[in-house]
Every structure is written in structure tokens, then in C-alpha cells.
Amino acid sequence: MPPILPDFSNSVKLKYVKLGYQYLVNHILTLTLIPIMAGILLEVLRLSPDELLKLWDSLHFDLVQILCSSFLIIFIATVYFMSKPRPIYLVDYACFKPPVMCRVPFSTFMEHSRLILSNNPKSVEFQMRILERSGLGEETCLPQAIHYIPPNPTMEAARGEAELVIFSAMDSLFEKTGLKPKDIDILIVNCSLFSPTPSLSAMVINKYKLRSNIKSFNLSGMGCSAGLISIDLARDLLQVHPNSNAVVVSTEIITPNYYQGNERAMLLPNCLFRMGGAALLLSNRRSEHRRAKYRLVHVVRTHKGADDKAYKCVFEEEDKEGKVGISLSKDLMAIAGEALKSNITTIGPLVLPASEQLLFLITLIGRKILNPKWKPYIPDFRQAFEHFCIHAGGRAVIDELQKNLQLSAEHCEASRMTLHRFGNTSSSSLWYELGYIEAKGRMRKGDRVWQIAFGSGFKCNSAVWKCNRAIKTASDGPWADCIDRYPVHIPEVVKL
């Protein structure tokens, strides 16, 4: 029996139907007001000059009414502008590029693993399987202390790595922005696993002889999402301290945290984490408006620490032999998915256009009232953002977010290529990804960027930026000498 109705999907291009719906809903106010204003204008044009004069005369104004109205308008405008949050600008940022002597090709990594774990070939084989599927390339770097056999993770070596990474990033930031150390009002340093005394923020103050009244903070133990936590802290401080500059440094020091035991859950970070760091200049000064690269729009933080499984899914502890390492739970991806769901539930109403919010609301009501088996509507975040910076925590993390958020390969390209070139650099990975987008010449004025990061605890944090000006392709930075080779094809398995 022939179909009663034609195949709608073939007869109509649904893509254009959806675009028409989005335009109609997103501009409903404008489309409603234009006919009303046009009608009012036509009615006014129909009136004769005498009728217009009579209409004006019928409006009686006295001095008291005018003064009261003016005072009310001025009062409302004053309250509005005083309560309006100060705009926070990202003037510029700099990423650390590890020296070539720190490079760890697959062959070197596996050779060291065989020598260090010679008594446990199964652990060596496990690391090889992880590395084959990790998405990392041959140019990622580990600090010098890890190149020794066996590794030599002393306090001196850890401080040496911290100085190399942080000072190199800071020097690059000073050069790019023209900022002088004495002009820094707020300093925030985040490093999750290395927390010496004096702190890393004190180390920076000592190196650059910063002012004695500087407001300094050192964040530790907050995982790979600590970079966005630092941004949130800087934003809050800049709201209450006018005309100020804040420098944020995000890094992870690998030297004291390289696991030398046999527990598989603790060997995984060895295969993924690599050297990296970034320094950022944030400011609320109006004079920085023109040259600033981005303006901070939103920061949304989600913490699942009340749940025991979430709290322990990334956990620093000792193994059976007393060796300290970071244990990653098998439930990590499921917990990350729940944290992401909570985070996008909060950020969605802030960034999604009305068309997507309406579809989500209709589906939600339908599931509650009509049929609970209805498939939930996943908002199209591509309508809200032009660029996505997903924390390069590993191939599985990027794959899962690409699937859940229905992103294209190009949307995830910056994250995958950052993982391939630099590995998981923890909280600083988001800035290598943003650097990749800029190096490719894809960033335009007005473009919106969504940064998503996950961290121990368990946390999912988001930051939304809006490009403030046209950004030229950088001639320096960590991507300068290799951007022409990217993107590269990353196979599912690299046979070693």
C-alpha cells in the first residue's frame, strides 16, 4: 500500500525549517514590536497639523512633574550603573613551551617503564595499552627528574620544575602585555599536588619583587578544574577592587607525583599527565577595553563532593607498598557525566537562545505530563558558542563530551590536538586549546568561547568568554613552530 503522506524529511529541508524556527523565536520581541510601531506611526501620519497641535495642548505638564520625573530617571539610572558588575577583561595570556630536552617519545617512555617496573611486566604491558589509546603524540614532555632511572623526585627538583614553568610563563606574559611587576594588584597561583612552604605564590613574589600590599592566593588540591576556580576568585576580587590588575598562574608540577608502584589505577596518570603551565592577565581597568582579547561573561561551578563516589573517584593515597599515587576510579566517566549534566543545567539558561530553551521546556513538560519515555531534548549548544575548549584530560573525556553535546569534529579539534601535542597539562590545558584556535586564525570579534574543566572532588566548572577584538595569528607561543602540521590524524590505536 503506497504511503498516504509523502516522506516529509525528503520533501522539505528540515535544516531550513529549524533555522526558520530559531530566527522566529529568538527575534519574537522585535517581530512583534515592528508592526505595532508601524501602526502607531501610520495613525500619527494620518492626523492633520491642527489635530496634532490639539493633542499636544491636551498634555498638561507643570514644573513639579518635570522635576520629579527627571529625578526619578536619574535615580534609577544611578542605581542601575552602580549595581552593574564591573566588566572583567582577559588582556592576554601566555603558555609555557617545554624545552626539547624534556621530550618523551613513546619508545623512551616504554623503555623507562620496563627498567623501572622490571619485576612486574604486566604493569608495563598495561601502560603500553593505555599509551597506545591515549591520543598523545611523540612530542609531549616530562620534567628532567623523571628522565632519570630510577626517577629522582626530590624537593629541589620539584622546585626547579616549578620555577622553570611558572617563571617562563610569567616572563612571556610580561613581554606580551608590557605589564610591570609593580602594576600587579592580585596574584593567584593554582597547583593541585605540589604545595611547598613558602608557597608558589610567595615564590613568584620573591622572584619579581612584587609590592608588599599585593593580595596573593595559593590554591592547591583542587584538581584540573582549578584554573577556572582561580578565574572565579579573580573575578570576585576585581569586583570589589576597582582599577586593578590580576595575574593568574595555572600549572601542575609533575616531579613529586610520578608514581613508581604497580597499582594500575595509579599508573594511569603517568601515561597522561605532562609538563605545562599558563599565566593570564585579568583587569577591570576601562583603559584595557580596547586591547583586551576577551571579556569574561559567566563562570559556573558545580561540586559533587557530597557524594562519596564522586569524592573518591580521583584520590591521592598509598598503595599496598606504601607508595603514594593518584588513584582514578572506574566510575570516573559516569561521575563526570553527572557533574556535567548539573553544570549545563545551570549554564544553559544563561547562554542558550530562546528557541533552544523553549524546545527544552516543551520536552520537559511532555515527559512529566504525557509520556515519561520521551527522549530528553539535548540543547544545541552550538547555537550559543562558536568555540569549545574541553579539558584535555584524555581521549575518553573528549569523546564523551563530543557525544553528549553533539559537537562536530572541528569543535573538538583544539582539545584533541592539545592532548596530542602537549598531553594532559591539567588546569592549563584550556589555554593551550584557546591558543590553538587563535593560531589557526579562527577567532573573530564577537565569537563566544565555552571552557569546560573537570577536577577532583568531584568538580565540573565552566567559563564563558566573548572575543573583544579581532585577534591576529600569533607569531610566537607554544604552537608557533608546529601549527602548520595540525590537525593530524589520531588513530584509535597506535601500535608500539
Residue pLDDT, tens place only, 232-285? 999 999 999 999 999 999 999 999 999 988 888 899 999 999 999 999 999 999
484 located within any domain: no
State the catalytic residue, choosing from 303, 389, 412, 467. Answer: 303
Q: Is 303 a catalytic residue?
A: yes
Please answer whether residues 460 and 302 qualify as being in contact, where contact means their C-beta atoms are separated by less than 8 angstroms. Answer: yes
DSSP 35-62: HHHHHHHHHHHHS-HHHHHHHHHHS---
Per-residue cell: 142:
616530562
Per-residue cell: 344:
549545563
CA atoms within 13 A on the CB side of 161: 28
Per-residue cell: 229:
576556580
**DSSP letter (8 states) at residue 4:** S
**DSSP letter (8 states) at residue 420:** H
Per-residue cell: 422:
602537549
Give me the sign of the Cα torsion angle 376, 379, 380, 382. Answer: negative
State the catalytic residue, choosing from 191, 224, 271, 389. Answer: 224
User: Could you tell me where the beta strands, DSSP code E, fall in 191-258?
Assistant: 215-219, 245-251
Instruction: Give pLDDT, residue 450.
Output: 97
68 located within any domain: no
Please answer whether residues 206 and 168 qualify as being in contact, where contact means their C-beta atoms are separated by less than 8 angstroms. Answer: no
Residue 195 domain boundaries: 88-468
pTM: predicted TM-score of the whole model, two decimal places: 0.86
- Which ranges of the chain have pLDDT less than 50? 1-17
Q: What is the dihedral of CA 404, 405, 409, 411, to 10 degrees?
A: -150
Query: Residue ranges of the alpha helices (H) in 144-278?
Result: 144-147, 155-177, 200-208, 226-240, 264-272
Count the Cβ atoms, other than its own, within 10 Å of residue 421: 23
Rounded distance between C-alpha atoms, residue 228 and residue 438, angstroms: 20
State the catalytic residue, choosing from 102, 191, 271, 387. Answer: 387
335 located within any domain: yes
Q: Is 343 a catalytic residue?
A: no
Q: Is 404 a catalytic residue?
A: no
**DSSP letter (8 states) at residue 440:** T
Instruction: Give pLDDT, residue 161.
Output: 97
What is the helix (H) or strand (E) element at residue 21, kind and residue range?
helix 14-26
State the catalytic residue, choosing from 112, 391, 467, 468. Answer: 391
Q: Is 424 a catalytic residue?
A: yes
Please answer whether residues 446 and 218 qualify as being in contact, where contact means their C-beta atoms are separated by less than 8 angstroms. Answer: no
State the catalytic residue, choosing from 411, 412, 420, 468. Answer: 420
18 located within any domain: no
196 located within any domain: yes
93 located within any domain: yes
CATH number of the domain enclosing 350: 3.40.47.10
28 located within any domain: no
Tell me: the pLDDT tens digits for 397-446?
999 999 988 899 999 999 999 999 999 999 999 999 999 999 999 999 99
- Respond yes or no on whether the N-terminal peptide bond of residue 376 is cis (omega within 30° of 0): no
Domain count, the chain: 1
183 located within any domain: yes
State the catalytic residue, choosing from 190, 257, 343, 424. Answer: 424
C-alpha to C-alpha distances, 231 to 115, 165, 236, 247, nearest whole angstrom: 42, 19, 9, 10
Q: Is 420 a catalytic residue?
A: yes
Which of 225, 274, 247 minimizes the C-alpha distance to 167?
247
Q: Is 112 a catalytic residue?
A: no
Count the Cβ atoms, other than its own, within 10 Å of residue 463: 25
Count the Cβ atoms, other than its own, within 10 Å of residue 468: 20
Per-residue cell: 74:
536619574
- Respond yes or no on whether the N-terminal peptide bond of residue 422 is cis (omega within 30° of 0): no
